[in-house]
Structure formats: structure tokens, C-alpha cells
Amino acid sequence: MSQQAIKFAYWVPNVSGGLVVSKIEQRTSWSIDYNRKLAQLAEAAGFDYALTQIRFTAGYGAEFQHESVAFSHALLAATTRLKVIAAILPGPWKPALAAKQLATIDQLTQGRIAVNIVSGWFKGEFQAIGEHWLEHDERYRRSEEFIRVLKGIWTQDNFTFKGDFYRINNYTLKPKPLALPHPEIFQGGSSRAARDMAAQVSDWYFTNGNTPEGIKTQVDDIRAKAAAHQHSVKIGVNAFVIARDTEEEARAVLQAIIDSADVEAVHAFGDAAKQAGKSSLEGEGNWAKSTFEDLVQYNDGFKTNLIGTPQQIAERIVALKALGVDLLLAGFLHFQEEVEYFGRRVLPLVRELEARHLKETAAA
Ligand SMILES: Cc1cc2nc3c(=O)[nH]c(=O)nc-3n(C[C@H](O)[C@H](O)[C@H](O)COP(=O)(O)O)c2cc1C
């Protein structure tokens, strides 16, 4: 097991409706005031990162959506240590503009901005904004070029790139970002194409929620592929956390979320998501095998099963770490109060278990 402490990120609710496609009451808001306070609470609770989302149109509820880069900057301005990961979607974003815009935010925030390169799953959204829709593996080929260009512009002078999607000619960005070697590059997606890309160019691979077996298969595949490319990549896993004083309470909350599912929106999302994992050659990507219940949390976060008491959840997090997971990406029902509870009740148990493990391995 890694000697490094496992890191924690939370999903920024910068789109309306929270993280579940359900009509259940949620004390979560997509407003900037709510989110500024949430970022401050998360920082104090021990979270390392916040992850924003990019949506151009409503897809499954999520009727209102704040843009990810502008929103990330606002959260950075309200905090001092937290790193904020801004979602960037190749297609609408061009890499030279993203490199410039993010370098400025990096300078303004002492190197605390990071990016999550997402490759797109929602054809209707691309059509709505007049963006050409590429088929699954082509989207990843474009994202890979996008990342190579970002890194090139951020780290080299007189950078030139001649790709199938992007061309850069003898370009020197000034000032370059403060973060070294460059702002961290995350990517989201779980298909074979996503793993191939992570194994070559990304610093972090973010995947949807899954069972320990499902996560292990991905971790082993990526680590083997990355080694073949002399690249190293860290792994972040999504989970919808329901931590309550008793397991019964936590399970009852899960049941209530599912019982109040917005059935029409879940089905609409499931149909759109077929453009993602199922449409890859192997049909292994996100949502390829998700049930109706799974899709109520739109990144399969129930599957990771961080639902129970603080002790149960802490043990399962450390078990994920033992499989090679470096970061846990958490979503919650009532964000502010549950982030605070997580920091107070779950995180110290995780650190205790990690310390105990370190002692045991040192003694062995
Ligand atoms: C943690 C995480 C965050 C994501 N955030 C976004 C996002 O903000 N906007 C978006 O359009 N897609 C987002 N995605 C979707 C992916 O970029 C990708 O399109 C989807 O997972 C399907 O890819 P796959 O077939 O490789 O699994 C995210 C995925 C993950 C795992």
C-alpha cells in the first residue's frame, strides 16, 4: 500500500439539482454563495481538491449550470490552500486559449488551479452549441492531442505541434504557470481509450464509482500500460458518500434517494450516456453496465459503497487505497453539513488506519 496519505476531493455543485437525479429534498445549492462557504468548509475539513463540472445544457435535470473555469477561479479566490480542478471539454475549448487562461489563474492563485480534461458523452449538448460530434475513440484522440499541446505550451518556449486536430507554430507563452512542472492534469472516463490516454499523458485518471473488483481491474490495466510508456499516473475514484451514525440510517437515505428518483430524467440520461462507454469498441466505459438505480447518481457513485457508519466508510476507503487508489472523489446529498461531518468523523479514522498500517509495515 502507498506510503502517501490518500487524498480527498469533492464534487463542486456548480450545476443545479445536486449530485443525484432525484426529487428528494437536498440542502445543496448551485449558487456561488453556497459554494464559497462549502469550499471554505472543505478546506478546513481536510479536503485537498474541489472538482467543478462543465455542462452546456441541461441533460438530466441540472437545469442551470455555471461555467467551470470562471467558477473555479471564484472558489480559489475564497480559499487559501484548496486546489480547484476545472473541467475542460475539448471541442468548445481550444488548447491555446485554455493554456493562456489557466496560466493566468495559476499566477493569480499561487499555482492552485488544475484541470480535468473530459471528452464528452452528450451528443445533444454538442449539437446545441454547434460543435462537431466525433465518435468515441476519436474524441479521446483529440483529448490526447489537447493534453500534449497544453503541456507543450506550459513547459516549452517556441513550441510547435502538428497534429490531426491542433496546430501550434513556434509559440512562447509568457508568463508560464507557477505550478511545476505544470498545473496538474486530470482526466475523466473509464473506457479502454480513456485508460490508454491516461497511461501516456495524464497525471491523474478519474473513474466513475465501481466495486473494488471493477476498480482493481482498471488500476492494474492502467499501471501496466503506463509502465510500458515510462509514465506514471495516479488514480481517483468517485463515490457518493452517505455517512450516518448508524448503518440503518445511511441505507435508509440511499433508499429514499432511489425511491424519489426522477424516472424520466434518469432514463433520458441513460439514453444519452450510451454515447459514452457503450459506444466504445469494447463497451467497457462509464455507464456501460449501469442499472437504473446506479444511474440515479450520475457517476455511478453508489457502486463504490461508501454508505454506512464512519468506521465502515473509513475501512472501505483504506481498502481502496490498498488496491492502488490515490484519491477519493466524494459527492454528498447535503453538501455543506456532510462535508463537515466527513471531516470530523470519517477523515480522522482514515488517517488512524493509515498510520496503523505504516507502523505494522515498519515493524514487519
Ligand atoms: C470524475 C469525472 C468527472 C467528469 N466530469 C465531466 C464534466 O464535467 N463534463 C462532461 O461533459 N463530462 C464529464 N465526465 C465524463 C467523461 O469525460 C467521459 O465523457 C465519460 O466518462 C465517458 O467516457 P468513457 O466512455 O471513457 O467512460 C466526467 C467523468 C468523470 C469520471
C-alpha 139 – ligand 1 centre gap (Å):
12
Domain that holds residue 294: 7-363
Instruction: Enter the DSSP assignment of 345.
Output: I
Total domains present in the chain: 1
Ligand 1 nearest atom to the CA of residue 238, by list position: 1
Q: Find the 20 Cα to ligand 1 centroid distance in Å.
A: 16
Q: Which three cell numbers stand for residue 364?
A: 514487519
- Residues near ligand 1 with C-beta < 6 Å? 53-54, 87, 89, 116, 118-121, 188-191, 193-194, 206-208, 238, 276-277, 280, 285-286, 299, 329
CATH number of the domain to which 75 belongs: 3.20.20.30
User: Is there a domain that residue 326 lies in?
Assistant: yes
Ranges of H-type helices in the chain: 32-45, 68-77, 95-108, 123-128, 136-155, 192-198, 212-228, 247-259, 263-273, 292-295, 310-322, 335-341, 347-363
Measured by CA distance, the residue closest to atom 9 of ligand 1 is 54
User: Is position 2 within any domain?
Assistant: no
* 239 found inside a domain: yes
Query: How high is the pLDDT of residue 273?
Result: 81
Rounded mean pLDDT, 180-202? 96
Nearest CA to ligand 1 atom 23: 189
For residue 191, the ligand 1 atom closest to its alpha carbon is 26
User: Is residue 165 a part of any domain in this protein?
Assistant: yes
Q: What is the pLDDT of residues 239-280, one digit of tens each?
A: 999 999 999 999 999 999 999 999 999 998 888 887 676 667
pTM of the model: 0.97
Rounded to the nearest 10 degrees, the angle between the axes of helix 310-322 and helix 347-363 is: 50
Please count the CA atoms within 13 angstroms of the CA of 153 that sit on its side-chain side: 25
- Convert the pLDDT of each residue in 157-181 to its tens digit: 999 999 999 999 999 999 999 999 9
- Note whether residue 129 is domain-resident: yes
> φ and ψ at 353, to 5 degrees?
-65, -40
Ligand 1: which atom is nearest the Cα of residue 122? 11
C-alpha cell at 211: 466495486
The average confidence (pLDDT) of the chain is 95
Instruction: Determine, yes or no, domain membership for 312.
Output: yes
**Span 18-29, pLDDT tens digits:** 999 999 999 999
